[in-house]
Amino acid sequence: MKEPVPLASPPFRRRSRMSRHLAVVLALIVSAPRLAGAVNSCQLRIGRAVVGYSNARLKAISSCEDKRSKGTLPASTICRPQCSGTAKPQAPCRTDTDCGLCVGGTNTGALCGANPDCPGGSCNTGTCQAVTDPSTATRLASAQSRYTSVIVHGCPGTLPPIGPACDDSAATASTLAACITAPVQDTDVETINADTLARTFYDSAAPVTDVGLRKCEAAISRQTRSYLGRRMKAIKKCEEKQARAVLPGPCPDATVIAAFDVARTKLDTAIRKFCSETQLAGTMPELKFGVPCESYKLVTYKRGPMNANAIPVQDRLIRCITDAAAGVADRMMDIPYVDPESSDFRSGVAAGDGSPDGAIFWTRLPDSTMGAFLDVVLGADFTGPLVGGTPVAVSSNPGDDGAVKKAVTGLSPGTVYSYRFRQGTKSSRVGRLVTPPSPSTEAPVRLGWSGDSNAFFRPFSVLDLLRLPAVDAWLFIGDTIYGDDPRSSGLDAMTVQDYYAKYRENREDGALRDILATAGTYVQWDDHEVRNDFAGASPIWMVSPRVVNGNKAFRVYSPIRENTGDSMQLYRSFRWGSLAEFFLIDDRQYRSPKYTCCNTAAESGFVLNDDDTTCHVSGEALVPSSTCNTAMADSSRTILGAAQKAWLENGLMNSTATFKFIMNGPPITQLLFVPYDRWEAWPAERTEILDFIQNNSLKNVIWLSTDLHGIVISPERVDTGMTHFTPEIVAGAIGMDPIFRELPPSVLGVLPAIPGILTQVSEFDLDRFNIVTINVDPGAPAVARFDFVDRTGLTIHSISFDAVP
């Protein structure tokens, strides 16, 4: 290994200690890389084209659809390229291949044009229908020509970094322009664009004969186009200022978020003028919406009198429409402004597992064979004294993909620090860490929380809503990668190098790197760091290298403390002053084999191979049979394992913190339907732990869970019956198929009845990306508050708990 480059020449060491501090700080300031990059006129042209073309395309399609709704164009008119057939009805498309889906076989769910594309299965084909209105076709072609010219003439040389929606297509300026102006972008990210927004607005059968509903439909289209344009322009303005070094970055900043709020308020006010509560709540006639708002009335809920939904229908629709538009704006603006790391430390920096006197600092080195230095400085502005008086030497272990983790002690409780890594003449960005207050200090808690980040759904823009409030730390709980999902990269991870590639892919996302750098991180894994629904105590997983590889990659890429007795152990806890203790449990590594109950009883059984179900033919039963329940109730089955269960119970029993939060993966609340990966499918241990909490009168214990990809709030108890009075809150996802998109179609028919069935659940949101801010304030009593925020910046759910003395 090469020797690290020292901070200064030997004469420097003969200076006084104060002089050394000053010289260190000055050297670090001088060597700090600019967050802003050089102005790139090509990038600015691409940004202009994305904004202009997205709005021109949506306006042309909307004009055509409005005429269909009025009856001035035939109902059969095709206003945008869209699929016919049963596989992907009305989805945007370029060719027939975009309209087919594989059913069965090794490529289930993949795009296909014919059966040979689906080994072992078949292709449910469809047809891509072209635009049939000549005027609309001309407008779309004109916009495409105009903005293609903007890109081609503005980018005569090498292209700047391009976001994942078009990076595969961006061999030249011409092919990039073709991607941006197509009805569908690259297939390695979720397809959301102007065409999908048009599908959302215009799903009612034409003509819409009710004049009031037709005006409502047109207003929604018009106002959402306006919101889309305002959001995209605000991002573009910020990025251009950052490129010119007018703003330090990253984008969006507080000014941009304020602009988002103004745009959202204008949309909200304008839609309410044309779309009354009575109109939207009605069913005859009813205004229909497409994905992702086709079931907006059912997927967002807050319990009111007689189980009625206390959230007005207007609010439910506006939230859904605004969030859909925000997703399109962020995805399309990520094409020109993907914002790769400005330093040579391409995966960014992070600090985690903070304690009152120390933390773990992480980065990935530019040169894995060469040593480096870590500088930790008192204060947020990187101008205070260097902790310990000297830089800390760091290096990457062989086989660790250039990643380094370094424990630093000697820090003070409840204090802000900044830090940076250096290797030779190269410096990383500056990171921020706030150490927890000492356990005896009654200090407010200001943390963030979410989980489930799949690269297929980049950018993870909802994380900006954690970064900008400057939370002191955040809890990144579960499915930090999707190692087994090939949609974003074609890779189903098996080897440790495969898993490393998945982490590098996620760290390409600017919002994720930004929150890792600006707030301390407490991270825990779930199943997708290995594969869906793996159970570590199953015989196959006890010998499979996949678990070892996934575990190693998680530890290498996470700023977590290594357990000296068992390097694979991940469960641990931390305090935040006297008000909160967090228990990060590992409910994957030690769990007994999963049991799946199938629609055909003969298929039911334990999953004992590298799989997530036994129900390959008939599918999983919506509700398990009595026979299946008996098999799942075996008292020897475990999720935590004996050692971890004893650790958790002992920790809860002896904790002096006011609130005890159990950071969990699959929810512990009884949700009844398709329970096979949740705590319900291990009922003996579930009951044992909940009984332990209740029988020992442990106060202020709250389960905080992810994995479900939705919001579910059970404020008093986790059982449908009047037992186990321990609350649970479920949050997420940062970016993953929402639970509503993963459930079998049979559940849709049950949704209206859910409030009457799951009586312990007070609120839910089943189709929205989200983050949570956790605020615990001292007082008599102390109060813990949880605010759920979607990617528009709107607080969509809130709940508070008063501490029981």
Is residue 258 within 8 Å of 238, Cβ to Cβ?
no
Please tell me whether residues 579 and 692 are part of one structural domain: yes
Is residue 544 assigned to a domain? no
Q: Which domain holds residue 660?
A: 573-592+638-802
pLDDT in tens, 88-122: 999 999 999 999 999 887 777 788 888 988 988 89
Q: Quote the tokens at residue 116.
A: 């040979």
Of 506, 514, 163, 80, nearest to 330 (Cα)?
163
SS3 sequence of 271-294:
HHHHCCHHHHHCCCCCCCCCCCCC
Residues in the chain: 805
Please tell me whether residues 113 and 207 are part of one structural domain: no
Is residue 6 assigned to a domain? no
Distance CA 108, CA 530 (A): 20
Distance CA 392, CA 628 (A): 56
Q: Quote the tokens at residue 700.
A: 């202020």
Min mean pLDDT across 597-601, 637-641, 744-748 is at: 744-748
CATH number at residue 713: 3.60.21.70
Distance CA 412, CA 354 (A): 11
Q: Quote the tokens at residue 381.
A: 């502005």
Read off φ and ψ for residue 654, nearest 5 degrees: -100, -5
State the average pLDDT over residues 458-484: 97
Of 579, 550, 407, nearest to 478 (Cα)?
550
Determine how many CB atoms are found less than 10 A away from the CB of residue 646.
11
DSSP character at residue 387? T
Is residue 9 within 8 Å of 363, Cβ to Cβ?
no
Residue 34 has pLDDT above 50, yes or no: no
pLDDT at 105: 76
Q: Quote the tokens at residue 377.
A: 């400085």
Of 392, 389, 358, 361, nearest to 374 (Cα)?
392
Query: Of 333, 356, 390, which residue constitutes the final position of a domain?
Result: 333
Distance CA 300, CA 788 (A): 13
Please tell me whether residues 71 and 94 are part of one structural domain: no
Is residue 3 assigned to a domain? no
Residue 697, phi-psi category: left (phi > 0), alpha (psi -120 to 50), beta (remainder): left
Is residue 553 assigned to a domain? no
Distance CA 46, CA 165 (A): 13
Please tell me whether residues 273 and 290 are part of one structural domain: yes
Give the pLDDT band of residue 713 (cuts 50, 70, 90): very high
Share of the chain above pLDDT 90, in %: 89
State the average pLDDT over residues 313-331: 98
pLDDT in tens, 399-428: 999 999 999 999 999 999 999 999 999 999
Min mean pLDDT across 16-25, 293-302, 745-754, 761-770 is at: 16-25
Q: Quote the tokens at residue 284.
A: 């005859």
Please tell me whether residues 316 and 276 are part of one structural domain: yes
Please tell me whether residues 313 and 176 are part of one structural domain: yes
The mean pLDDT value of the chain amounts to 93
Residue type, 139: R
Is residue 534 within 8 Å of 527, Cβ to Cβ?
yes
Is residue 303 assigned to a domain? yes
pLDDT at 27: 32
pLDDT in tens, 614-645: 999 999 999 999 999 999 999 999 999 999 99
Distance CA 727, CA 740 (A): 23
Q: Which residue has the higher pLDDT, 490 or 107?
A: 490
Is residue 99 assigned to a domain? yes
Is residue 740 within 8 Å of 698, Cβ to Cβ?
no
Please tell me whether residues 286 and 147 are part of one structural domain: yes
pLDDT in tens, 238-252: 999 999 999 988 999
Please tell me whether residues 206 and 299 are part of one structural domain: yes
Residue 25 has pLDDT above 70, yes or no: no
pLDDT in tens, 342-396: 899 999 999 999 999 999 999 999 999 999 999 999 999 999 999 999 999 999 9
State the average pLDDT over residues 447-467: 98
Please tell me whether residues 290 and 320 are part of one structural domain: yes
Q: How far does the chain reach from its first CA to its final CA, in angstroms?
A: 57
Is residue 455 assigned to a domain? no
For the chain, how many structural domains are there in total?
3
Please tell me whether residues 99 and 192 are part of one structural domain: no
Question: Could you give the residue ranges of the DSSP H alpha helices within 592-726?
Answer: 626-632, 642-654, 683-695
Residue 17 has pLDDT above 60, yes or no: no
Of 69, 76, 74, nearest to 201 (Cα)?
69
Of 511, 504, 509, nearest to 461 (Cα)?
511
pLDDT in tens, 137-158: 999 999 999 999 999 999 999 9
Residue 201 has pLDDT above 70, yes or no: yes
pLDDT at 49: 98
pLDDT in tens, 421-444: 999 999 999 999 999 999 999 999
Cβ burial, residue 546 (10 Å; 0-12/13-18/19+): buried
Of 747, 768, 745, 736, nearest to 527 (Cα)?
736
pLDDT at 14: 30
Is residue 473 helix, strand or coil?
strand
Please tell me whether residues 88 and 198 are part of one structural domain: no
Residue 801 has pLDDT above 50, yes or no: yes
Distance CA 211, CA 217 (A): 10
Is residue 628 within 8 Å of 604, Cβ to Cβ?
yes
Beta 711-714 vs 728-730: how paired, if at all? antiparallel
Residue 19 has pLDDT above 80, yes or no: no
pLDDT at 38: 56
Q: Which residue has the tokens 């905080």?
A: 704
Distance CA 405, CA 421 (A): 11
Query: Of 333, 353, 369, which residue constitutes the final position of a domain?
Result: 333
Query: Of 268, 303, 333, which residue constitutes the final position of a domain?
Result: 333
pLDDT in tens, 520-562: 999 999 999 999 999 999 998 888 899 999 999 999 999 999 9
pLDDT in tens, 207-259: 999 999 999 999 999 999 999 999 999 999 999 999 999 998 899 999 999 99
pLDDT in tens, 651-668: 999 999 999 999 999 999
Determine how many CB atoms are found less than 10 A away from the CB of residue 543.
10
The DSSP annotation for 332-370 comes to: HHTTT-----SSS-TT-EEEEEEETTEEEEEEE-SSTTB
pLDDT at 9: 28
Instruction: Please report how many Cα atoms fall inside a 13 Å half-sphere around the Cα of residue 351, on the Cβ side.
Output: 30
pLDDT at 778: 98
Residue type, 137: A
Q: Which residue has the tokens 């404020």?
A: 715
Is residue 597 assigned to a domain? no
Distances (CA, A) of 485 to 37, 477, 488, 489, 739: 33, 18, 7, 8, 16
pLDDT at 743: 87
Is residue 736 within 8 Å of 453, Cβ to Cβ?
yes
Please tell me whether residues 97 and 187 are part of one structural domain: no
Residue 590 has pLDDT above 70, yes or no: yes
State the average pLDDT over residues 45-60: 98
The residues that bridge with 523 in the sheet, in sequence order, are 476
The DSSP annotation for 491-552 comes to: ----SHHHHHHHHHHHHT-HHHHHHHHHSEEEEE--STTTSTT--TTSHHHHH-HHHHHHHH
